[in-house]
């Protein structure tokens, strides 16, 4: 009985392994083909969030309220809209009589809120789409408008997040109010981006901070020596290569590497201090992270709120638009993404079943 059970167990895992290997090969082939055949074109998508909220409200009304109550609410809303249109028409006439300049005339219009998303990885890969979105919004946005960025990032490469931060700095330079909402994490390079905002809002348990720099690499020189393998590093310039994975590292090289890290850290601290001058930089620039409420006490953020809560509030006050630049994907890339999602879903199910089995037995 035990042997039969073990045989079935082994067969099951053999099938799973075969499936995963096949799917990984499919993903690799599809993505590489997509990279060769993709044309890099994209399209801009703009959706009015107010409409989505109104649809949600309408659905709830029809499900919860009776017909009479719905009619009364519709009547009240029509009257409210009528009064609003009347006031706008009156204001327009007054402006026409006063013959104000064009910029003053624009200030009389309703303010707009533009919502962008940035979900950062190690390379800040979304920066290409992000720069397109910001460039587009800046063609229309006015100082009385607002740009809201829903930011999620644990940080990554310095130069990549430096470029992403520069995109946000363009908004500040244009004198457009910038609000950044962090629901989960804005750490290291993520906080480098967030600190540029006029206002940072964080969820209560969002991870904030990590104003520090880290770098590391393995060294296999001892392994190579064990097998009598030489590895030569030839450079022109004393510090062209400070640390290496295969060569023998020197104390001078390590010191130079650490000096470079310290220099980068100083630049990081100066950058944060420039945009958030009230911060106690020595206190918060230790590489530590804090949850939202503690981050508020340390003035790393300006308020505690989820992005949903803040956007729901702005929908009541202004026209809110979600702006997204979407890269055109070839069929190979679409196939690769679908296959990757299938693999991740299968792995999640296996892990969940394993955890459930373990908890029921313990």
pLDDT (tens digit per residue) in 209-231: 999 999 888 999 889 888 988 88
Within 10 angstroms of residue 151's Cβ, the number of other Cβ atoms is: 28
Dist. CA 180–CA 200, nearest whole Å: 5
pLDDT at 199 over 90: yes
The pair of structure tokens assigned to 330 is: 């070839």
- DSSP class of residue 246? S
Is 312 in the active site? no
Range 24-39 average pLDDT? 56
Please tell me whether residue 306 adopts helix, strand or coil conformation. coil
180: helix, strand or coil = strand
Residue among 89, 318, 275 at smallest CA distance from 180: 275
Residue 11's pLDDT is 61
**Average predicted confidence (pLDDT) for the chain:** 83
Q: Is the predicted pLDDT of residue 250 greater than 60, yes or no? A: yes
pLDDT for res 358: 47
Q: What is the percent of the chain with per-residue pLDDT over 90, rounded to a whole number? A: 52
Q: Which of the residue ranges 34-38, 74-78, 146-150, 330-334 would you say has the lowest mean pLDDT?
A: 34-38
pLDDT score for 344: 61
Average pLDDT over residues 10-19: 63
- Alpha-carbon distance of 299 to 280, in angstroms, equals 8
Distance CA 323, CA 136 (A): 9
- pLDDT per residue over 98-116, tens digit each? 545 444 444 445 789 999 9
Give the HSE-up count for residue 304: Cα atoms under 13 Å, Cβ half-sphere. Answer: 12
Structure-block tokens of residue 306: 């989820």
Distances (CA, A) of 347 to 80, 176, 205, 259, 353: 53, 44, 27, 42, 10
* pLDDT attached to residue 37: 43
pLDDT: is 327 or 88 the higher one?
Answer: 327
111 tagged catalytic: no
Task: Tell whether the model's pLDDT for residue 152 goes beyond 90.
Answer: yes
Tell me the C-alpha distance between 151 and 163, whole Å: 15
List the domain boundaries for the chain: 1-41+328-362
Q: Token digits for 193?
A: 């981006």
Residue 343, judged by CB atoms within 10 A of its CB (0-12, 13-18, 19+), counts as middle
User: 185 pLDDT band (50/70/90 cuts)?
Assistant: very high
What pLDDT does residue 19 have?
Answer: 67
Tokens of 212: 């520090």
Catalytic residue among 222, 226, 240, 316: 240
Catalytic residue among 165, 188, 210, 305: 188
Residue 178 has pLDDT above 80, yes or no: yes
The residue that leads in pLDDT, 58 or 221, is 221
pLDDT computed for residue 91 by the predictor: 62
- Burial of 138: CB neighbours in 10 Å, binned 0-12, 13-18, 19+: middle
Q: Rounded to an integer, what distance in angstroms lies between the CA atom of residue 210 and that of residue 193?
A: 12
H-type alpha helices, the chain: 2-37, 49-64, 67-98, 102-107, 127-138, 158-173, 189-194, 221-226, 251-275, 281-284, 292-297, 307-315, 331-361
Give the pLDDT score at 108.
Answer: 41
């Amino acid at each position: 009985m035990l042997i039969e059970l073990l045989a079935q167990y082994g067969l099951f895992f053999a099938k799973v392994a075969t499936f995963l290997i096949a799917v990984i090969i499919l993903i690799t082939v599809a993505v590489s083909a997509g990279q060769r055949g993709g044309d890099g074109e994209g399209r801009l998508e703009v959706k009015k969030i107010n409409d989505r909220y109104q649809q949600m409200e309408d659905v709830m009304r029809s499900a919860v309220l009776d017909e009479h109550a719905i009619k009364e609410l519709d009547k009240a809303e029509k009257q409210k809209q009528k009064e609003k249109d009347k006031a706008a028409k009156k204001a327009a006439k007054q402006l026409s009589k006063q013959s104000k300049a064009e910029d003053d005339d624009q200030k009389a219009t309703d303010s707009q809120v533009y919502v962008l998303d940035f979900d950062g990885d190690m390379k800040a890969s979304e920066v290409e789409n992000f720069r397109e979105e910001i460039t587009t919004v800046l063609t229309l946005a006015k100082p009385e408008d607002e740009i809201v960025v829903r930011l999620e990032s644990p940080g990554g490469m310095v130069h990549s997040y430096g470029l992403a931060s520069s995109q946000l700095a363009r908004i500040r330079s244009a004198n457009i109010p910038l609000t950044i909402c962090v629901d989960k994490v804005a750490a290291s390079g993520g906080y480098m981006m967030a600190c540029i905002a006029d206002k940072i809002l964080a969820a209560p348990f969002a991870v904030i901070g990590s104003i520090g720099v880290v770098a590391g690499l393995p060294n296999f020189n001892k392994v190579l020596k064990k097998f009598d393998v030489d590895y030569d590093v030839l450079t022109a310039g004393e510090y062209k290569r400070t640390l290496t994975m295969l060569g023998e590292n020197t104390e001078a090289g390590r010191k130079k590497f650490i000096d470079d890290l310290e220099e980068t850290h100083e630049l990081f601290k100066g950058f944060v201090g420039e945009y958030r001058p009230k911060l106690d930089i020595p206190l918060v620039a230790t590489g530590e992270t804090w949850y939202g409420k503690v981050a508020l006490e340390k003035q790393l953020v300006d308020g505690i709120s989820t992005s949903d809560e803040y956007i729901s509030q702005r929908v009541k006050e202004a026209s809110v638009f979600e702006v997204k630049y979407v890269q055109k994907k070839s069929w190979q890339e679409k196939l690769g993404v679908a296959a990757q999602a299938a693999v991740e879903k299968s792995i999640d199910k296996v892990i969940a079943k394993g955890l459930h089995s373990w908890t029921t037995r313990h």
